[in-house]
Amino acid sequence: MKELKFNGSKLVTGPGAIDYIKNLDGQRIFVVTGKSAMFKNGTIDHIRAVFAEQGKTCEVYSGIGGNPTTGEVLSGLAAMKAFDPDTVMAVGGGSAIDATKVMTLMCEYPELTLEDIRGGKAPSERRKLQFIAAPSTSGTASEVTRAAVITFTEENIKVGLKTTAFIPDIAILDGNLTLSMPKHVMVETGMDALTHAVESYINKNNDDFCKFMSKGAVEGLCAYLPLSYEKGDVENRQKVHNFQCLAGMAFQNSGLGMDHGIAHAFGGRFGTSHGLLNAVALPYVLKYNARDEAVRADLDELSRVIGADIIDTIEGFNARFGVPKTFREMGISEEDFNSHYESLLDNSMKGSTARNPVPMTREEMDKVLKSIYYGDILF
């Protein structure tokens, strides 16, 4: 028996979907966002205007970074408690949404600590605070998932905290919010989404529902990522927005693999873009996992669906989008790589690596990491 949950109570999609907030019942809305993007493109002003016209009280809390830390979560939590909202809205990238998930749950359950959540002691539902998520990037699918990735700074590691109580009640997928994404952000988040879709599809914890959804996400992302990159118009951005969400619905029920385990280890240590780490590592990870007969069959099926070899296609996207071929080319110095290597190796074995379709040992992970760093296949 397997219980599946794909999203909260409602998903609203399409250009202009942000105006769904006019239908919210809450009177005190705490809005969380990143540093500046949603201010510059007018989204925050629009949200404020909608709530002001309805006579509602709205406070905007900004400054969530690209890799939200435990400190940022606790600072935001203090501001949220002081405001005492009945509704919380996250608008921005996946990092802002992830941080808001944790803040909202800890606001509703004041006795709850970060270590409680990390240790699997989080409640499974919210009862008081309504939570809305409106992503402005197309990658994490945090608007529908039970996961929140937070950097525990004392350990220099990203940890995927999980509970169904994190899932927003309402997810708003408005392609207009993505139009201000710079190309490099579109690439990093888009390749993150493609990694979600592929790792979900080859995961052995899969089922008929997730298999179909992740395959559809791969097909859609492979078709529309290049168009979104080249044209940057709302039609193609909306398509990528929708397919990245579909990938999220799948992977939160099936799991991912060692690409994400590696990305969390290196991102936690160096603060590097999660999506970029995923993009660089993905061809190496798939070549390694393809030694498994079932994985090879799955990759062959994805190749059939998109009409080209899936690994070649991913490598082609990376070249087209200007993604480095190795972690060394990303700017991680050999000195840093070697001096932190043991902790990087240890942390790469954690998290999503536990669900990799090919069980990993430290010896095998060592070969994979050095392959990704130097660019020579050592496995």
Express each pLDDT in 283-293 by its tens digit. 999 999 999 99
Q: Looking at the structure, do residues 103 and 170 belong to the same domain, yes or no?
A: yes
Q: What is the CATH number of the domain that holds 105?
A: 3.40.50.1970
Q: Is the pLDDT of residue 154 over 90?
A: no
Q: Is the pLDDT of residue 155 over 90?
A: no
Question: How high is the mean pLDDT of the chain?
Answer: 97
Q: Looking at the structure, do residues 173 and 187 belong to the same domain, yes or no?
A: no
Question: What's the pLDDT score for residue 308?
Answer: 98
Question: Does residue 311 fall inside a structural domain?
Answer: yes
Tell me what percent of the residues of the chain surpass a pLDDT of 70: 100
Q: What is the CATH number of the domain that holds 206?
A: 1.20.1090.10
Question: Which 3-state string (H, E, C) describes the chain?
Answer: CCCCCCCCCEEEECCCHHHHHHHCCCCEEEEECCCCHHHHCCHHHHHHHHHHHCCCEEEEECCCCCCCEHHHHHHHHHHHHHHCCCEEEEEECHHHHHHHHHHHHHHHCCCCCHHHHHCCCCCCCCCCCEEEEEECCCCCCCCCCCEEEEEECCCCEEEEEECHHHCCCEEEECHHHHCCCCHHHHHHHHHHHHHHHHHHHHCCCCCHHHHHHHHHHHHHHHHHHHHHHHHCCHHHHHHHHHHHHHHHHHHHHHCCCHHHHHHHHHHHHHCCCHHHHHHHHHHHHHHHHCCCHHHHHHHHHHHHHHCCCHHHHHHHHHHHHCCCCCHHHHCCCHHHHHHCHHHHHHHHCCHHHHHCCCCCCHHHHHHHHHHHHHCCCCC
Q: Looking at the structure, do residues 84 and 103 belong to the same domain, yes or no?
A: yes
Question: Does residue 2 fall inside a structural domain?
Answer: no
Q: Looking at the structure, do residues 48 and 123 belong to the same domain, yes or no?
A: yes
Q: Which of 178, 208, 237 delimits the end of a domain? A: 178
Q: Is the pLDDT of residue 297 over 90?
A: yes
Q: Averaged over 217-221, what is the pLDDT?
A: 98
pLDDT grade, residue 95 (50/70/90)?
very high
Q: Is the pLDDT of residue 225 over 90?
A: yes
pLDDT grade, residue 81 (50/70/90)?
very high
Question: Does residue 4 fall inside a structural domain?
Answer: no
Domain of 353, in residue numbers: 183-374
Q: Averaged over 136-149, what is the pLDDT?
A: 96
Question: What's the pLDDT score for residue 325?
Answer: 98
Q: Averaged over 298-312, what is the pLDDT?
A: 98
For residue range 160-214, what is the model confidence (pLDDT) as tens digits?
999 999 999 999 999 999 999 999 999 999 999 999 999 999 999 999 999 999 9
Q: Looking at the structure, do residues 318 and 368 belong to the same domain, yes or no?
A: yes
Q: Is the pLDDT of residue 375 over 90?
A: yes
Instruction: Give the pTM.
Output: 0.95
Question: What's the pLDDT score for residue 330?
Answer: 96
Q: Looking at the structure, do residues 201 and 174 belong to the same domain, yes or no?
A: no
Q: Averaged over 246-254, what is the pLDDT?
A: 96
Domain count of the chain?
2
Q: Which of 150, 178, 206 delimits the end of a domain? A: 178
For residue range 15-48, what is the model confidence (pLDDT) as tens digits?
999 999 999 999 999 999 999 999 999 999 999 9
Question: What's the pLDDT score for residue 163?
Answer: 96
